[in-house]
Amino acid sequence: MSFPHDAAAESVFPRDAVEAVTHPDPYPFYRQLRQERPLFFDTRLGLWVASSHAAVSAALVHPALRVRPPAEPVPRALQGGAAGEVFAQLVRMTDGDFHAVHKPGVARAARRWALADVARAAEDAARDLRPRLPVNEFTAALPVQTMARLLGVPEGQREATCRWAAQFTQGIAPGADAQAVALANAAAAALMAQGRAQGLSAVQAANRIGFMQQALDAGSGLLGHVALHLTQDAQQAAAADASPEAMCALVREVERCAAPIQNTRRFAAEALTLRGQPIAAGQALLLVLASANRDETLNTQPDRFHVHREGGRSVGFGAGLHACPGAAIAVEMVAACALWMRAAGQFDAYFGRCIGFRPLPNARIPVFEQ
């Protein structure tokens, strides 16, 4: 998949795997890492970097590698506030007994929506948002608006709910300033009250927020990359327009090839050996999911975009205990949105030239000229 960008910038490798997320073309860099240093300690980043499928998959399922530093289960900036209380109850950010008890309930909650319900919610959200939002605001709003509909948020509360979800997401991000944290605390309190009003327990209300929070960056990135591909390849776009199944197949291959979530992190709860490398307790690992998806041991001809790829696999939604239960929801949401917009003739002219990516450390979200 190619994007319009500066050819000179393309010839220069990013300095590290975090900078690669917003690089015009990070995939040659990822290939070099896989071939030469599939698992190494990056002194610039101060953490281990896993880029091969073998290293990434081993880390995703290793019982001693946790989603948070053992000494800091809740980020210091969030401790004592409403956002911190929510963070501590998100199953995607916890391990051990709490995760084991509550993850099945979150997975059941994700399965309660039929894919037809997801498609309908995405179409309704697109129909509402498209006439009144510029393209970059649309890609940011569509996923959380879809989730708000699925979660039963009344029409009159959706705008506020989606604003609170965005504020919570921004405020819990690493490096968020004091104002962003304050907004996240207020947003968390409002969203928790909304959940409790629906009769949910504290954990259920917190993970209701988690559904919207997770949809934001992952859904925005997937929608943006699908738009890039559809506007650049008319033949494949026409084939995808043929049916919901065809569009979903294209979306799945975009997710594998373009990896909206480029990396995730794990933290060693104890000393361990991973793929022959000794990792000390407390050290962090950056798992480059985007690189693992392009590993020939996972997919044949991994750099080729092939909608009907036989046995195509992706680690973009994680694996093991922390595998995302919303993978099918994300694919259906983006496919339904794209199908509706294309059928309505509101797609190609809306998604203009890609001019870069949002400055995020793990999500690769296209920014469009508008």
Q: What is the pLDDT of residues 224-272, one digit of tens each?
A: 999 999 999 999 999 999 999 999 999 999 999 999 999 999 999 999 9
Residue 38 has phi, psi (to 5 degrees) of: -65, -25
Same domain? For 99 and 118 the reply is yes
Q: How far is CA 306 from CA 242, 302, 303, 336, 342, in A?
A: 17, 9, 9, 20, 21
Same domain? For 9 and 56 the reply is yes
Same domain? For 133 and 160 the reply is yes
pLDDT at 10 over 60: no
Tell me the C-alpha distance between 200 and 208, whole Å. 9
Give the three-state DSSP class for 4: coil
What pLDDT band is residue 366 in, cutting at 50, 70 and 90? very high
Nearest to 88 by CA among 79, 97, 100: 79
Domain of 127 in residue numbering reads as 69-258+318-370
Confidence at residue 104, expressed as pLDDT on a 0 to 100 scale: 95
Q: What pLDDT digit, counting tens, does each position of 51-71 carry?
A: 999 999 999 999 999 999 999
Same domain? For 20 and 75 the reply is no
Same domain? For 183 and 311 the reply is no
- Backbone CA torsion sign across 351, 357, 360, 364: positive
pLDDT at 7 over 50: no
Q: What does DSSP assign to residue 365?
A: -
Tell me the C-alpha distance between 226 and 139, whole Å. 11
pTM passes above 0.85: yes
pLDDT at 2 over 70: no
Same domain? For 100 and 243 the reply is yes
Confidence at residue 51, expressed as pLDDT on a 0 to 100 scale: 98
Q: How many domains does the chain have?
A: 2
The domain that contains 254 carries what CATH number? 1.10.630.10
Tell me the C-alpha distance between 171 and 209, whole Å. 13
Same domain? For 189 and 302 the reply is no
Tell me the C-alpha distance between 136 and 231, whole Å. 16
Please, what is the average pLDDT of the chain? 95
Tell me the C-alpha distance between 201 and 162, whole Å. 21
Average pLDDT in the 320-348 region? Answer: 94
Confidence at residue 11, expressed as pLDDT on a 0 to 100 scale: 58
What pLDDT band is residue 311 in, cutting at 50, 70 and 90? confident
Confidence at residue 4, expressed as pLDDT on a 0 to 100 scale: 40
Tell me the C-alpha distance between 158 and 41, whole Å. 44
pLDDT at 181 over 50: yes
Q: What pLDDT digit, counting tens, does each position of 139-165 carry?
A: 999 999 999 999 999 999 999 999 999
Between 109 and 346, where is the model more confident? 109
Same domain? For 11 and 141 the reply is no
Sheet of strand 284-288, all strands in order from the earlier edge strand to the far edge: 39-42, 47-50, 284-288, 263-268, 65-66
Same domain? For 190 and 327 the reply is yes
Q: What pLDDT digit, counting tens, does each position of 313-330 carry?
A: 999 999 989 999 999 999
Tell me the C-alpha distance between 50 and 40, whole Å. 7
The domain that contains 294 carries what CATH number? 3.30.43.20
Same domain? For 82 and 157 the reply is yes
Same domain? For 300 and 325 the reply is no
- Residue found under tokens 């073309």: 25
Same domain? For 101 and 231 the reply is yes
pLDDT at 337 over 70: yes
Measured in whole angstroms, the distance separating CA 8 from the mean position of its chain's CA atoms is 29
| Rg over CA atoms, the chain | 20
Residue 101 has phi, psi (to 5 degrees) of: -75, -40
C-alpha neighbours within 13 Å on the C-beta side of residue 306: 13
